[in-house]
């Protein structure tokens, strides 16, 4: 899980970098996006996603070295960490939904 979390973190950084490049560098002018309330909601959701990922990341980093007698990694994930991951999944589903709505011109 710690490897999956690391890949998730790296991909999140790449997505944010690509988004900032599109917002300020190429394509439509920045005010096109800044004036759209769905875009602002999307930015808030990305920030929320980053905040939600802190607790699971800390948990996985602290518990990545535990192994049982057979050499397999065994970590019992607490319910609170699972809830954070479920909330992250919900937010990850909502972000593309807002992107599709923006592409259709909703929010202008």
Instruction: Tell me which residue range forms the domain holding 84.
Output: 2-103
What's the predicted TM-score (pTM) here?
A: 0.80
Q: Is the pLDDT reported for residue 93 higher than 90?
A: yes
Residue 58: inside a domain = yes
pLDDT by residue (tens digit) across 3-34? 888 888 898 899 899 888 988 888 788 888 88
pLDDT greater than 60 at residue 97: yes
Report the pLDDT value the prediction gives residue 84, as an integer from 0 to 100.
Answer: 94
Q: Is residue 108 part of a domain?
A: no
Query: 36 or 27, which is more confident?
Result: 36
Q: Taking the C-alpha atoms of 9, 12, 18 and 20 in order, what is their torsion angle to the nearest 10 degrees? A: -110
Enumerate residues 6+ apart whose C-beta is below 8 A from 27. Answer: none
Q: What is the number of structural domains in the chain?
A: 1
* Letter string b/e over residues 41-50, b meaning 16 or more CB atoms within 10 A of that residue's CB: bbbebbeebe
Does some domain include residue 65? yes
Residue the block writes with tokens 């999307």: 42
* Percent of the chain with pLDDT strictly greater than 90: 45
Q: Residues of 1-17 as b/e, b for ≥16 C-beta within 10 angstroms?
A: bbeebeebeeeeeeeee
């Amino acid at each position: 899980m710690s490897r999956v979390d690391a890949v998730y973190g790296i991909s999140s950084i790449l997505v944010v970098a690509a988004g900032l490049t599109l917002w300020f560098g190429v394509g439509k002018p920045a005010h096109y996006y800044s004036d759209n309330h769905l875009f602002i909601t999307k930015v808030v959701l990305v920030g929320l996603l980053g905040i939600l990922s802190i607790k699971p990341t800390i948990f996985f980093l602290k518990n990545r070295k535990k192994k049982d007698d057979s050499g397999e990694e065994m970590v019992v994930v607490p319910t609170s960490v699972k809830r954070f991951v479920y909330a992250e999944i919900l937010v990850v589903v909502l972000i593309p939904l807002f992107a599709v709505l923006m592409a259709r011109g909703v929010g202008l």
